Amino acid sequence: MKKLKTTLLCLIAGTVLQTSAQNMNPIYLDNNQPVEKRVEDALSRMPMEEKVELCHAQSKFSSHGVPRLGIPEIWMSDGPHGVREEILWDSWSAAGWTNDSCTAYPALTCLAATFNPELSHAYGVAIGEEARYRRKDILLGPGVNIYRTPMNGRNFEYMGEDPYLASQMVVPYIQGVQQNGVSACVKHFALNNQEEWRGHINVNLSDRALHEIYLPAFKAAVEEGHVWSIMGSYNQLRGEHCCHNDLLLNKILKGNWKFDGVVVTDWGGAHDTKQAALNGLDIEMGSYTNGLSSKAKFGYEDYYLAKPFLALLKTGEVPVSVLNDKASRILRLIFRTAMMPNRPYGRFVCPDHSSTALKVAEEGIVLLKNDRQFFPVPTGKYQKIAVIGENATRSVTEGGGSSTLKVKYEVSPLEGLVARYGKEHIVYSMGYASGPSLYDREEPSKMNTDSLFNAAVETAKNADVVCFIGGLNKNHFQDAEGGDRKSYGLPFGQDKLIEAILKVNKNVAVILISGNAVAMPWVKDVPAIVQAWYLGSEGGNAIANVLCGETNPSGKLPFSFPVKLEDNAAHSFGKLSYPGDSINEYYKEDILVGYRWFDTKKIKPQFAFGYGLSYTTFEYGKIATDKKTYSPDEAIRVSFTLKNTGKVDGAEAVQVYTSQPKASVMRPEKELKAFKKVFLKAGETQTVEMEIKVKDLAFYNEATQSWTVEPGEFVLCNASSSADVKSKVAIQVQ
């Protein structure tokens, strides 16, 4: 009997030890196991309460892990132009760290203007390295909402008006970020195309417009970029908030596109527990019920996907399978990021990152006008260069809402020009001012609009050449989150100042720093115009390099500049089309957004989509295709020659547009279907080759709820912009 007891005790002990060993070395901790096995294993060890905790925030920028199992929490940071400074656990106030000053990269309008997917990948790698070094798991960007109106306060955070351009630029950005073990978080899904009433405005639009214009970049992010997280938008679509919208999240994103990642709310974007549970939301973030401004008590445990969610699960009103799906997605994200095998360590504010920021800024700057070969201005050409405008010295990494950055350094345009031309040749005058800088607090009479205005005109009168550096500045109601612009014109009396300067000096260049198109009543009078965007840490150096000719400009506009606001499609239909009646908004222009509207309606823009000048000239050869007839599963191979006919090296973003002259539905005059950044030495000729899949000539068929390629004739053209077609070729689709 004693021997039997001993044997039983040994067997029990062995079992305990074996079980203990298994618990000590679970599959979810084994990096050699497939992610899905790790997810399944971790999920099996968690009670309902721990799974629910995964689904909501625990601080301003983090959500729960599972401490008991050694599964870390998820840490997020605003992007998409740099890694935001650390803030307090439960406050938007800065934490006061001394090691969180980042590299500022150019805004995404600038990145889109490069028309260079390879550069987009480099951008993603660099910002991903900075996010990883700062121990972030999700970088909240990039943004790919479509530029529908130049009044949208957040257009500078997005990639322009064309869904194909945005699709081609977002995929390499995502891949670059995520190779660092940091999830990109593409936003804002979907139709967040204005800040006015963004928290509740109900968008009404056709299925064609939804699928052809507003969803393609998100689809590319999922199916080609394999993005790990997506952020919902504040607005409603067809009566449901987009952060828990059955059509967008369940049917399209997770159903049709097979998205296996995590859907995160925009902060405070959830409004109902049952809808949040059943309509595709995974992680609820925020501060209070309405985001940032309310002081009502709404603790993290009170979030819709916290205790109220648990209560619905316990009563059976929401199936446990719904919770398991959310928890599985969140665990999958953690294993892809914080618990990723061989996760890189990242890098922070290093020369390579500065070089990438400079390269993006230089390639994104767009030369809009250059009469009399005003630019380049080589060093030594002029004795006195007047630099006028507050934006020459104002920081453009601050303001704008969630894109605000605490930067290690920022080179202003004035600093860049002084470094390039020499202090003795530069004279600066502020000209205009915004905000608290308008008045000298100790002696208010010293600084007012009249004195600034008059001093600038006097400075211009005595200069050989004037560089007016103005535009917008990320103030509220300019380019900023939380409010749309109030006027299409330049703020702070800049138009009047430019006109006054022109009366005393005709050698005036206007350098616009903005993320939006602006009215240009002086466009015919100034010999040179440069669109310089928000260029980040290296902005001043990039501007100086382009103006002096060290860098040949090659940027192209990612959106059209209308002459007047009424020429824009959204505005042409009145207030119900934009900004709506505060409850509903109707996209009456349908699929005719941007150049599709200008081209189809024969309205001449101020500057066309895809437009941008160079210091050299390019000669396009006639476009040709590899054959004349194609089946729907084939690809069209197009080719043409491109020659640099000037005296300096340069780059041209060549574009190929397609059209269908006879179709059963309305189709735009033309649509971008291919582009390529081509670098050529002076005098060099290159054969440009591109490929267009026949299936990409389809339109979204509302009758069948599917994509349709109709047989018949299609026309392809090569172009330097949507308004400058070089040649055409017709093909037949069987």
Q: Which residues are catalytic?
A: 266
**Which token pair is 1?**
């009997």
Cα–Cα distance for residue pair 233/263, rounded to 1 Å: 11
Please report, to the nearest 10 degrees, the dihedral formed by the alpha carbons of residues 201, 207, 211, 214 taken in order. -20
Read off φ and ψ for residue 381, nearest 5 degrees: -70, -40
Cα–Cα distance for residue pair 218/257, rounded to 1 Å: 10
Element (H, E) at 334: helix 320-336
Cα–Cα distance for residue pair 104/536, rounded to 1 Å: 5
Length of the chain (residues): 734
Classify 311 as helix, strand or coil. helix
Please report, to the nearest 10 degrees, the dihedral formed by the alpha carbons of residues 587, 588, 589, 594 taken in order. -30
Classify 71 as helix, strand or coil. strand
Cα–Cα distance for residue pair 180/260, rounded to 1 Å: 19
Cα–Cα distance for residue pair 157/480, rounded to 1 Å: 9
Classify 655 as helix, strand or coil. strand
Residues ≥6 apart with Cβ < 8 Å to 444? none
Other CB atoms within 10 A of residue 447 CB: 17
Helix, strand, coil shares, percent, the chain, to 5:
35, 20, 45
Residues ≥6 apart with Cβ < 8 Å to 271? 241, 243, 244, 304
CB of 413 closer than 8 Å to CB of 430? no
Cα–Cα distance for residue pair 454/432, rounded to 1 Å: 10
Per-position DSSP letters for 560-606, written without gaps between them: -B-SSGGGSHHHHT-TTTTT-SSSEEE-TTTT--THHHHHHTT---S
Alpha-carbon separation of residue 400 from 235, 515, 571 (angstroms): 19, 11, 24
474 dihedral zone (left: phi>0; alpha: psi -120 to 50; beta):
left
Residue among 136, 137, 238, 243 at smallest CA distance from 188:
243
Please report, to the nearest 10 degrees, the dihedral formed by the alpha carbons of residues 276, 279, 284, 289 taken in order. -40
Read off φ and ψ for residue 513, nearest 5 degrees: -105, 110
CB of 83 closer than 8 Å to CB of 357? no
Classify 87 as helix, strand or coil. strand
- Give 241's DSSP letter: E
Q: Using alpha carbons only, how large is the chain's radius of gyration in Å?
A: 28
Element (H, E) at 39: helix 35-44
**427 bridge partner residues:** 386
**390 bridge partner residues:** none
Residues ≥6 apart with Cβ < 8 Å to 445? none
Residue among 624, 653, 620 at smallest CA distance from 636:
624
